[in-house]
Every structure is written in C-alpha cells, then in structure tokens.
Amino acid sequence: MDTVAQLCEQLGSDDRIKAYQARRALAERAAVGEAERMALAAELTDCLTAKAEVKDKKKKDPPPPRYAVAVRNEICRNLADVAGDAQVPALVDALADFDTREMARFALDRIPTPAATAALADALSKSIGVEFRVGVVNALARRNDPAAREALHKAAADPSGEVRIAAAEALALQPDSTADAVIVVVGKELGATSRRAAKRADIARLRLAGTLSRAGQNDAARGIYQALASDGADEAQKKAAKAALEKLG
C-alpha cells in the first residue's frame, strides 16, 4: 500500500489516471476510524508543509514548497475531511499563500472549532480580494460563535459593498438581535444607489427574525417583522413579515 507521501507525489502526476487513483485512495482513507483519520491528517499536514531540497546551501532564500500548487490544493481538499485543531496552523500558512488560500479556507470552513473560527476571522481582517473575503464571510456565517459574530459586525462596515452586504446576510443566520441595526444601516447606505442591495438587506432582516424566533427570542423577532410590515420594504417582504407576525401571534 502506498504511503500518504507517495500518494501526494502521485497527485502531481501527468498521468491523469494515476492522479485520479491517488485522489480516490486518499478519500477512501478518510472514511475510516477516528484514530486513522487523525494519523492521515498529520501525514497530509507534513506533505502540505514539506519543503523542496535546496542544492545551493549558500542561498539565503527560504526553500520553496516541495509540491506544486495543484498538489497542495488537493492536500487541502483532503484535509477538509479529516483535519482538526492540530492542522489549523498549517492551514493558516496556506491562507497566506495566494495560490492556496481558497482551498485552505475551504478546509478551515469544515473544522468546527474555535481555533478555526479565529483563523477565519483573522483572514477576513487581513486578506485582500473581494471574492475571497466574501467566501470567508460565508464560512463565518455558519458558526454560532462570538468571535464569528464580532468579525461579521466589523465586515458590515467594510469599504467593499459586496463584503458589507454579504456580512449583513451572514449576520442574519446568527441569533443576535443587535445585528438588525447593523443590517438596517447596510441596507440604507447601499440601497441609496442599489435597489437590489436594499432588497437583499430586507430579506436578511426577515431571515434574522426567523433565526431569532427559532432561538426563542420572539419579542425581538416580532419587532423586526413589524418594522418590515410598515416601512418601505418590497411588497413581497411586507407580505412575508405580516404572515410571520400572524404565525407568532
């Protein structure tokens, strides 16, 4: 049986069949017991952080990664299935690499721990590129965690309108009644030039009210529904808010 390191070598093969078989073999090894998964995660991390041999010892530049970008991205993809807190530092390093940061984010998104949340929140504050940062916002949206909420509140004031509206929509999934005021501000400011942004903000408020109601915060939910039913929201949102109010009683 090939070792994990050998399979990682095969991931970069020009032979598509061999590369595919290596991906399948790694995926099969992920579908085993917890101890085996932890061992696989550790070996994959070793491959992700492995450095190439430097022939000229006089050079002071740090050695380059051993594996090509495509292979490192495949390693991150596999880590998404088995990684835990022990792999977070290596994935944080991969986040700092423009070529691997998206797959590192993908892997961190699937580690449901405070350490992974903190790594994503830090990436949101430090990274560039609207599309990537919106992806980080969406990853944080699914985490019912104070650190995630804090990062999303900050992102709602981001210079990028796309990041701001994504943060507003993400906050709608958090059981946090203070998010409504944030979403209202985003809707008003972006809605001044984009009716679509205003509508997205209204829909986010509806979702937030639903989130709060499911969390037992019916008074806060009712207040949002009442505001939407009476203000300048689209007719569809008004109708949805009125129906929700009737259901709440």
67-117 residue pLDDT tens: 999 999 999 999 999 999 999 999 999 999 999 999 999 999 999 999 999
Indicate the pLDDT class of residue 182, thresholds 50, 70 and 90: very high
In a domain, 133, yes or no: no
φ/ψ region of 216 (left if φ > 0, alpha if ψ in -120 to 50, else beta) reads left
In a domain, 116, yes or no: no
Q: What pLDDT, on a 0 to 100 scale, did the predictor assign at position 166?
A: 97
Which range of residues forms the domain containing residue 148? Answer: 140-249
- Closest CA relative to residue 103, chosen from 128, 130, 139: 139
Residues 105 and 153 placed together within one structural domain of the fold = no
Indicate the pLDDT class of residue 232, thresholds 50, 70 and 90: low
Indicate the pLDDT class of residue 172, thresholds 50, 70 and 90: very high
Residues 168 and 247 placed together within one structural domain of the fold = yes
205, pLDDT greater than 80? yes
Residues 151 and 77 placed together within one structural domain of the fold = no
Residues 77 and 160 placed together within one structural domain of the fold = no
118 close to 150: Cβ distance less than 8 angstroms:
no
In a domain, 9, yes or no: yes
Residues with Cβ within 8 Å of 157's Cβ and at least 6 positions away in sequence, in order, are 164
55, pLDDT greater than 80? no
In a domain, 119, yes or no: no
Structure tokens at 72: 């490192």
Indicate the pLDDT class of residue 121, thresholds 50, 70 and 90: very high
User: What is the CB neighbour count within 10 angstroms for residue 64?
Assistant: 9
Write the single-letter amino acid at 20. Answer: Y
In a domain, 159, yes or no: yes
Residue 186 gets which letter from DSSP? H
Residues with Cβ within 8 Å of 211's Cβ and at least 6 positions away in sequence, in order, are 172, 173, 174, 175
Report the number of distinct structural domains present in the chain.
Answer: 2
Residues 168 and 238 placed together within one structural domain of the fold = yes
Residue range 128-135: mean pLDDT, rounded: 94
Of 111, 126, 151, which closes a domain?
Answer: 111
In a domain, 130, yes or no: no
In a domain, 121, yes or no: no
What is the percent of the chain with per-residue pLDDT over 70, rounded to a whole number? 97
41 close to 87: Cβ distance less than 8 angstroms:
yes
Residues 36 and 101 placed together within one structural domain of the fold = yes
Residues 189 and 237 placed together within one structural domain of the fold = yes
Structure tokens at 119: 């790594």
The per-residue DSSP string of 134-146 comes to HHHHHHHHT---H
